Amino acid sequence: DKGNHRHFMEKEIYEQPEVISHALSHYVDFASNTISANAAAIDFKAATGLAISACGTAYLAGLVGKYWFELYARLPVEIDVASEFRYREMPLSPTQAALFISQSGETADTLASLRYCKDNGLKIGAVVNVRESTIARESDAIFPIMAGPEIGVASTKAFTCQLAVLASLALGAGKARGLIDTAQEKEFVRHLAEMPRIMSRVLNEIQPQMESLSRELSKCRDVLYLGRGTSFPLAMEGALKLKEISYIHAEGYAAGELKHGPIALIDENMPVIVIAPYDRFFEKTVSNMQEVAARGGRIIFITDEAGAAASKLPTMATIVLPNVDEIIAPMIFSLPIQLLAYHTAVFMGTDVDQPRNLAKSVTVE
Ligand code: M6R
């Protein structure tokens, strides 16, 4: 049932504040300000490293997770798309742990990667939406994302719930490894607790601007997304979302890679969507944006209040989100990305919930 919404995708985008709050309550105890993300089967404290694998949007959630596990838990992460991971014959040690991320829990390549790790003696964690799935069944620990059924082929709420779970796990691992003290834990919990409310506010506030911008985007043949740090996987996720439902060609690039190739494409016909919260990467990303502007590129700047105040570059549009802590920024910055893709597809009249050539669950290689 789509409720008041035109498409399941729209409904699922607007469900995010609610489902993410379910997801968080499974991993965070808001009464005692503690992150209780632990599973007896996986010892993040003793682990010497983490292997992560997944496909598509779930892979991009894993890539954000890599930044978090390395930053907050000092756990080195090896990550690859499952279709490569399963065949790479990479050397693994039983002292590493492994995480597989899958909404459906049935993706063939992800399952094969899981079995490869199992054969190598690693303990397996499954970050899944469907708890009765094959991937969940074959794992030592299940980390449910609690997003509820996701019907739209384009993953939206599963992505942000995957992020919320991975953030909790990375912080839980950091705590177990003695890198996050009680005061810091309390601060993280405070930021996570605020997230659902901020998401609701952002969804309501940016909707009209996303709708009008989508008219511009629908005229384009190509779109480039740029980001640094955790905004780099978000740039790739923005591009994936746009291409899969609107059929507009889009690429997500690490902002620093611009001058190593894609800058040759910049002209007034290819909008560049820059994702840049005011974090420690901001100045660097803005200097890349400057390179785009200097070549006549049109910029759609997705930033926060501090970022909007700090940059004076002319843009085609600036989307201003509230200033939020670094730990929740990826979830908040996912929202304009999803809405832009959604409205562009609606404007172009494509089958948003069931895009051509795609299946919700890819159970064959
Ligand atoms: O069910 P899974 O999470 O394993 O599916 C992985 C991908 O097939 C999926 O995320 C796909 O990329 C989505 N259509 C993206 O919106």
Tell whether the model's pLDDT for residue 207 goes beyond 80.
yes
Tell whether the model's pLDDT for residue 228 goes beyond 90.
yes
Q: Indicate if ipTM > 0.85.
A: yes
Mean pLDDT across the stretch 176-204? 97
* Gap between the Cα atoms of 177 and 258, Å rounded: 36
- Per-residue model confidence (pLDDT) at position 365: 84
Residue with CA closest to ligand 1 atom 11:
56
pTM comes to: 0.97
Mean pLDDT across the stretch 329-348? 98
Q: Using the mean position of ligand 1's atoms as its centre, give its distance from the Cα of residue 13 in Å.
A: 16
Q: Which pLDDT band, with edges at 50, 70 and 90, does 364 fall under?
A: confident
Q: Using the mean position of ligand 1's atoms as its centre, give its distance from the Cα of residue 58 in Å.
A: 6
Residue with CA closest to ligand 1 atom 10:
57
Ligand 1 site-directed mutation target among 7, 55, 361, most atoms within 8 Å of CB: 55
Half-sphere exposure of 98 (CA within 13 A, CB side): 29
Amino acid present at 301: F
- Per-residue model confidence (pLDDT) at position 361: 87
Tell whether the model's pLDDT for residue 44 goes beyond 80.
yes
Q: Which pLDDT band, with edges at 50, 70 and 90, does 144 fall under?
A: very high
Mean pLDDT across the stretch 295-324? 96
Q: Any bridge partners for residue 77, and if so which?
A: 50
Per-residue pLDDT of 45-77, as tens digits, reads 999 999 999 999 999 999 999 999 999 999 999
Please state, rounded to an integer, the average pLDDT across all residues of the chain: 96
- Per-residue model confidence (pLDDT) at position 22: 96
CA neighbor of 63 nearest in space, from 227, 226, 233: 233
Which atom from ligand 1 is nearest to the alpha carbon of 153? 14
Q: Which pLDDT band, with edges at 50, 70 and 90, does 135 fall under?
A: very high
Tell whether the model's pLDDT for residue 245 goes beyond 80.
yes
Residue with CA closest to ligand 1 atom 12:
56
Pairing of strands 34-35, 28-29: antiparallel
Mean pLDDT across the stretch 259-271? 93
Residue identified by tokens 């909707």 is 207
Mean pLDDT across the stretch 282-291? 96
Which atom from ligand 1 is nearest to the alpha carbon of 54? 4
List the structure tokens of 177: 């490894």
- Per-residue model confidence (pLDDT) at position 284: 96
Percent of the chain scoring above 70 in pLDDT: 99
Residue with CA closest to ligand 1 atom 7:
56
Q: What is the DSSP letter of 323?
A: P
DSSP 86-118: TTS-----TTEEEEEEESSS--HHHHHHHHHHH
The residues assigned a catalytic role are 360
Ligand 1 shell residues, CB under 6 Å: 55-58, 102-104, 107, 110, 153-155, 240, 244, 361-362
Q: What are phi and psi of 5, to 5 degrees?
A: -95, 155
Tell whether the model's pLDDT for residue 24 goes beyond 80.
yes
Mean pLDDT across the stretch 116-130? 97
Tell whether the model's pLDDT for residue 39 goes beyond 90.
no
- Per-residue model confidence (pLDDT) at position 41: 84
Q: Which pLDDT band, with edges at 50, 70 and 90, does 10 fall under?
A: very high
Which atom from ligand 1 is nearest to the alpha carbon of 241? 16
Q: Using the mean position of ligand 1's atoms as its centre, give its distance from the Cα of residue 224 in Å.
A: 21
Ligand 1 site-directed mutation target among 362, 363, 364, 365, most atoms within 8 Å of CB: 362
CA neighbor of 327 nearest in space, from 43, 65, 33: 65
Percent of the chain scoring above 90 in pLDDT: 94
- Per-residue model confidence (pLDDT) at position 36: 84
Q: Using the mean position of ligand 1's atoms as its centre, give its distance from the Cα of residue 361 in Å.
A: 7
Tell whether the model's pLDDT for residue 167 goes beyond 90.
yes
